[in-house]
Amino acid sequence: MKIDILTLFPQMFNGFLNESIIKRALENKKVEILIRNIRDYSKDKHQKVDDTPYGGGAGMVLMCQPIFDAVKDLKQENTKVVLLTPQGVTYNQKLAETLSKDEHLILICGHYEGFDERISSLADMEISIGDYVLTGGELPAMVITDSITRLVEGVIEKESIANESFIEDLLDYPTYTKPREYEGMKVPDVLLNGNHKEIEKWRQTEKMIKTLEKRPDLVKNKKTGYVLIRNHKTQEVSYFEYTKINGLEITPKNDPRRDDIISINKMIIIKKSFIEKIAKIRINKKLGIILNEFNNLLLSEDDDEGTAALLGEAVKYRDYIISTYIKYLGEEYRHQILKQIQIVIKELNRRLNLIAELKEKTNEDYEHKTR
């Protein structure tokens, strides 16, 4: 693999290229990393590469000519050009894996106020390493180069890569070394018994636990919710289950035979379909109570306090359905339920208005008689 990095500050990469895994990868010719000074491609006699922005504004903008010429000079048939910019896609491990399969990358480091917008036409991809501001694209280039290089075959052992954080969207499992006990903190017994099957099971469980404890955002699109219960004195999991999901109190039995609940070691993962079942049961029950009270009101004398109270309850429950249940419900059922409750709210409002009008008319009649 070959990586060309276009930068205004080549010396920033000296330490990066001469230490640790990157250095060994270069020495073993697993990768070729070349630092290109953008100024070398400038046609200006003073090697000028930036200018003031049209329309005014602070800072200087990188000019088209040096970067266009650099890319034209370096680009090959199999090249992917990457622009390092805050407006790019957020970098992650999956993207690192994808880029590590390319034969040739050109990474363009921005600086100053940014690029002339026309430079983006050169890029096959725009990448950001996060939502924060850096002085330039040199650090992102190092981050991307490091994460890609270590994935190139032969740079590090395959087993090391397979167990790393973010593989399968999970953090890595906890690791320990000697001594067995330090300041009262012990290495888990399972790692000392030599039973590799048990060790592997423990590691897989701990990967899930650590991810849900520290980076739940990594699995939020796969798992609907969770509560992790851990014995913090021993740092061992006493039990681990999905019991509370956005206000839904759900305590399923640890039964792997059920289709809607998956049991893995001490973990219980509830499928979304099961949550929808629970949500429907609870909505239907509560809505049934509201409709029953509504029907009783219709049969009773004019009761403005009771009507107002039920109206408030209906509005509150409608809002609760929207905030808590809505994403778990199918479109047809969601539409049906919201329509039903909206009819109740509309009728209660109408009833309150009629009661108010009747009271007003009664008061007017009374005043008229007493004159």
- HEC letters along 210-278: HHHHHCHHHCCCCCCCCEEEEECCCCEEEEEECCEECCEECCCCCCCCCCCEEEECCEEEECHHHHHHH
pLDDT digits (tens, 9 = 90+) for 135-186: 899 999 999 999 999 999 989 877 666 555 555 567 778 888 899 998 888 8
Q: Can you give the pLDDT at residue 251?
A: 43
Backbone angles phi, psi at 90, to 5 degrees: -75, 130
Q: What is the pTM of this model?
A: 0.57
Q: Can you give the pLDDT at residue 55?
A: 83
Indicate the pairing of strand 227-231 with strand 236-241.
antiparallel
In angstroms, rounded to a whole number, what is the distance separating the alpha carbons of residues 167 and 129? 18
Backbone angles phi, psi at 7, to 5 degrees: -150, 160
Torsion angle, alpha carbons of 90, 94, 96, 100, to 10: -150
Closest CA to 124 of 81, 64, 68, 77: 81
pLDDT digits (tens, 9 = 90+) for 242-292: 444 344 333 444 433 334 443 333 344 445 566 677 778 888 888 888 888
- Above 50 in pLDDT, residue 312? yes
Q: Can you give the pLDDT at residue 134?
A: 92
Lowest model confidence (mean pLDDT) among 42-51, 259-268, 359-368 = 259-268
> In degrees, to the nearest 5, what angle opens at C-alpha 101 toward C-alphas 97 and 105?
100
3-state secondary structure of 108: strand
Closest CA to 134 of 165, 91, 70, 104: 91
In angstroms, rounded to a whole number, what is the distance separating the alpha carbons of residues 156 and 163? 12
In angstroms, rounded to a whole number, what is the distance separating the alpha carbons of residues 371 and 272? 69
